[in-house]
Structure 1
Amino acid sequence: MITRELILTLKNLKGVGNKTIFQLFTELESYNLTDIKDYFEAILEISKNKSNLRLSNIEMEQLKISNSIANKIIEDSEKHEIKIVGYYDSDFPESLKKIDNSPLLINVKGNYKALVDLVGVAIIGTREPSENGFKTGKYIGKEIGAKGFNVVSGLAKGCDASAHEGCLSVGGTTTAVLAHGLDHIYPRENKQLALDIIENNGCLISEYTIGTRPFSSYFIERDRIQSALSLATIVIQTDTKGGTMHAVNDTLKYKKILGAISYVGKELSYPKTKGNQMLINEQKAIPISKESLTEFLLKIPIVQTSITNKIVKTRIKTTVRRIVRTKIRSNKIISKRTITKNDNNHIQLKLDFNND
């Protein structure tokens, strides 16, 4: 089995990226290997015969040194209560396997089940929202968190922080996707917010291992993970260019639902709403107002299907079966039936909005 130790070993080799490692693992499928040393021998053999893998200069000593670093990362992560999940582990999120340049591993601190059991909705936007924009982000985070969704954002100042805070204010579950190792928090002013997320059954997630400092390109790369972990994305405020648009483009690329807050009045002149207006006018995003939020959320495809047995088996194992018999406002009865936890969330969503 390809373990997190092996992945970390290869990732710590100079000049070796995710694409090369995935290609190498494809080559290793024809080998019957169990021990890490056997993997090293096979890797050296492949590197001599496959010059296109950019491993031609790898030596056993380099692998051993890199393996020592890998084991130190695992040890330090455990001390900081950081869970490392490898691409080939059974509990690696399937949604992250469906995107281009999938991460080879993720690091998680907090409630990992939040990523598995709850439907994610990404709430994103500028670090410099208007006063009304911040309040809107908090309101959207609150409403979505109260309906049982996992609010996914990036812990940045501004819209991200407002979404996390709004969700936490109603006891909701929220996930922060970070662009650095989980042994520290950036920005510093959101350190307490990060602790609150963990303490309230949420989690922090990053593809970067412990000790990794934030770098400008990492923030762009993490945006694909935010959208991948979510079935829908809501833009609070953004200009026509900026970091928010990376997550927007990934949402559109993978044909997920995109919404943008629709502003009126003086907010239309604020530069950080120009992106919202553009996305709505180009019909790339569904306009969202307080009155239309219900309709938007009900468009989210709660129940997903898959042709792969692995996903089906995983869903069966995590299914929560129970009988539901509920009266709704129209006095119609939802008949008794066996449902999944996600089905129940969808039904509850409809009922909660109707009872507001």
Structure 2
Amino acid sequence: MQKNNLDNWLRLSLIKGLGSVTIKGLLEHFDSARDIIEADVLQLKKLGLKQDIIKQLKNNDNTIQINKTHQWLGEDKINFALCIDDKAYPEKLKQIDSPPIILFGKGDVDVLNTCQISVVGSRNATPTGIENAHAFSSYLVQYGLTVTSGLALGIDAASHVGALAKKGLTVAVVATGMDIIYPPQNTELAHKIIKSGGCIISEYQLGVAPRPQHFPQRNRIISALSLGVLVVEAADKSGSLITARLASEQGHEVFAIPGSIHNPQSRGCHKLIKTGAILVESGLDIFNEIADLVNRETKNTLNEKEIKEKTNNAGDKNTKNTKKFDVEYQKLLDCMEYEPQPLDILHQRCGLPIDKISSMMLMLELQQVVTKHPGGMYLLSGKKE
């Protein structure tokens, strides 16, 4: 991102009363932030901008805040600022009505363009809710999905921790400036997310403290980045229901875990299920629903960084042992022969549960490592029957 271009976007984003919806509308008439800033006053009036906004546009340069941003960017090479016209800016975010004009972040920016599942829920989660968030997130990252949440207490934190427990990638979308970690109890977790290859992002300028209205606003980013949203636990009027509604409006899947009818934190999930959310009891339920989307979005790879090398020459039995699959995947592949094998035989050979082998085969099939044959039999791709 060129400094001058970033400066122009910073100037636009710092204008009071000029929101992302309006800026997105202006981009239908102008090619860049600079063009908007340098536009004729009469033209801006014709496009509906109010006089006070035009005055700010022409007179305020916000040098102090802009310099503060550049100083922060220079403090650490993993700090970044993505403007809406940047090539690395997530395409999914561009499609929503109110895309963040600038995404400030820390960590690996490439993670934003991986296949993501949002896992959200109550801050006042039950022990069962915490366990479910951890377990579902741990499961999903093993199949190459990135877990996205909001770094809040309760379900959010448990989902991030669950992803990290299996060495998975996770994204935290926060409701403060990037120089503030909120809640402070999750400071260590935030550092672990970054250290483990994930990232933390925010649309808010440096120094912006948490405010109640920020949390539902950031939820649109969480839902937009993801193929689907899993609501683990939610009260009847939970902010997680806002995330679910936004996901539905954005055309993404909504999943909900049912709970006890006596648990107030399950009422939101039950409401979602009644209105069309997909009831899920395992991570495999989610993966089965989004497998086609994953396949389409990544062109048969779930995580380009880890899988690109795995799929090359996967049919050659002499070379498959050199691929960097995890231990269980490699164990399963080593049990496969030159003829199609049923799941029960593979179960006997490798000792893994049949339901796990089934989900692993789905993943390998998406990667074109194996081919499914009639009768539920599997063969390494490239082998002859």
Query: 1:309 matched to which residue of 2?
Result: none
Over aligned residue pairs, what C-alpha RMSD do you find?
3.4
Query: 1:85 matched to which residue of 2?
Result: 82
1:125 aligned residue (121, 134, 139)? 121
Taking the aligned partners of 1:350 and 1:178, their CA distance within structure 2 comes to 39
Q: Does 1:271 align with 2:264?
A: yes
Query: 2:222 matched to which residue of 1?
Result: 226
2:107 aligned residue (104, 107, 110)? 110
2:26 aligned residue (24, 36, 45)? 24
Q: Does 1:95 align with 2:87?
A: no
Rg larger in structure: 2
3-state SS, counterpart of residue 29 of structure 2:
helix
Deviation at 1:295, TM superposition (A): 3.2
1:145-184 matches, within 5 Å, as 145-184=141-180
Q: Does 1:295 align with 2:304?
A: no
Query: 1:6 matched to which residue of 2?
Result: 8
Contact residue 16 and residue 53 of structure 2 kept, 8 A: no
Taking the aligned partners of 1:61 and 1:280, their CA distance within structure 2 comes to 46
Q: Does 1:237 align with 2:230?
A: no
* Cα deviation 1:204-249 (Å, max 9, x = unaligned): 0111121111111110011111111110111111112110011100
* Cα deviation 1:302-346 (Å, max 9, x = unaligned): 13369xxxxxxxxx9xx947333285879638xxxxxxxxx8694
3-state SS, counterpart of residue 275 of structure 1:
helix
Structure 1 residues 349 and 17: CA distance shift in structure 2, 3 A: farther
Deviation at 1:106, TM superposition (A): 0.6
Structure 1 length-normalised TM: 0.79
* Cα deviation 1:23-48 (Å, max 9, x = unaligned): 3333334xxx89x5x7644254634x
Q: Does 1:286 align with 2:278?
A: yes
Structure 2 length-normalised TM: 0.74
3-state SS, counterpart of residue 108 of structure 1:
strand
Structure 1 residues 276 and 89: CA distance shift in structure 2, 3 A: same
Q: Does 1:323 align with 2:317?
A: no
Deviation at 1:350, TM superposition (A): 9.6
Contact residue 180 and residue 206 of structure 1 kept, 8 A: yes
Q: Which has the higher contact order (CA 8 A, sep 6+)?
A: 1
Taking the aligned partners of 1:193 and 1:128, their CA distance within structure 2 comes to 18
Taking the aligned partners of 1:198 and 1:305, their CA distance within structure 2 comes to 25
Deviation at 1:82, TM superposition (A): 2.4
Structure 1 spans left out of the alignment, 5+ residues: 307-315, 334-342
Contact residue 18 and residue 104 of structure 1 kept, 8 A: yes
3-state SS, counterpart of residue 280 of structure 1:
helix
Taking the aligned partners of 2:256 and 2:369, their CA distance within structure 1 comes to 20
Contact residue 108 and residue 198 of structure 2 kept, 8 A: yes
Query: 2:349 matched to which residue of 1?
Result: none
Q: Does 1:141 align with 2:149?
A: no
Taking the aligned partners of 2:269 and 2:17, their CA distance within structure 1 comes to 39
* Cα deviation 1:250-303 (Å, max 9, x = unaligned): 11112222211123xxx3311001112222233x2222113xx31321221113
Deviation at 1:135, TM superposition (A): 1.0
Taking the aligned partners of 2:46 and 2:250, their CA distance within structure 1 comes to 33
Structure 1 residues 180 and 60: CA distance shift in structure 2, 3 A: closer
* Cα deviation 1:100-150 (Å, max 9, x = unaligned): 21111111100111112x210100100011111111111111111222210
1:205-224 matches, within 5 Å, as 205-224=201-220
Taking the aligned partners of 2:271 and 2:53, their CA distance within structure 1 comes to 49
Structure 1 residues 239 and 346: CA distance shift in structure 2, 3 A: farther
Contact residue 176 and residue 203 of structure 1 kept, 8 A: yes
Query: 1:191 matched to which residue of 2?
Result: 187
Structure 2 letter corresponding to 1:303: N
Query: 1:304 matched to which residue of 2?
Result: 296
Contact residue 134 and residue 158 of structure 1 kept, 8 A: yes
Contact residue 8 and residue 67 of structure 1 kept, 8 A: no
Structure 2 spans left out of the alignment, 5+ residues: 299-303, 321-332, 342-362, 372-376, 378-385
